[in-house]
Amino acid sequence: MAKDPRIDRLRKVPLFDTCNEKQLEFIASRVDEVDVSAGRVLTEQGRSGGEFFIILSGDADVKRGGKTVATLGAGDYFGEIALLDNGARTATVAATTALRCLVLSPRQFQDVLYQDPAIAVNMLH
């Protein structure tokens, strides 16, 4: 059986870098792969949100206070802070091109932690 390419993407994210192969496989089975059209706002600074995004292809601008502070591309990720605390977004992120992303919702993340509490322990180290 071919290895799920999402596992390698997850392994490169510091939030998951202490997870073992089985844990990464489980997380990969819970993420959604979505296509996002250019111009779509994925997160808005100051608004609550909990989704975590990993960009597979395409580009997105990160803005704080209306000023572009970074451009994200394939392999980059955002939303990890809100995933952990469901707090206000620290930046606005909008697709500048069509994007393909892996998305993990708070509910999916809680499911992962419920099924394998060791993942939470690994992530806190």
Per-residue pLDDT reduced to its tens digit, 5-29 = 889 888 888 878 888 899 899 899 9
CB within 8 A of 22, min separation 6: which ones? none
Q: How far is CA 40 from the centre of its chain?
A: 16
Place of tokens 């992303």: 101
Predicted pLDDT at 95: 98
- What φ, ψ does residue 76 adopt, rounded to 5°? -80, 160
pLDDT for residue 1? 54
pLDDT category at 58 given cuts 50, 70, 90 is very high
Q: What does the mean pLDDT of the chain come to?
A: 88
The mean pLDDT value for 67-96 works out to 89
Q: How far apart are CA 81 and CA 51, in angstroms?
A: 9
Best CA proximity match to 32, nearest among 110, 101, 88, 111: 101
Structural domains of the chain, with CATH: 5-123 (2.60.120.10)
The phi, psi pair for 46, rounded to 5°, reads 90, -20
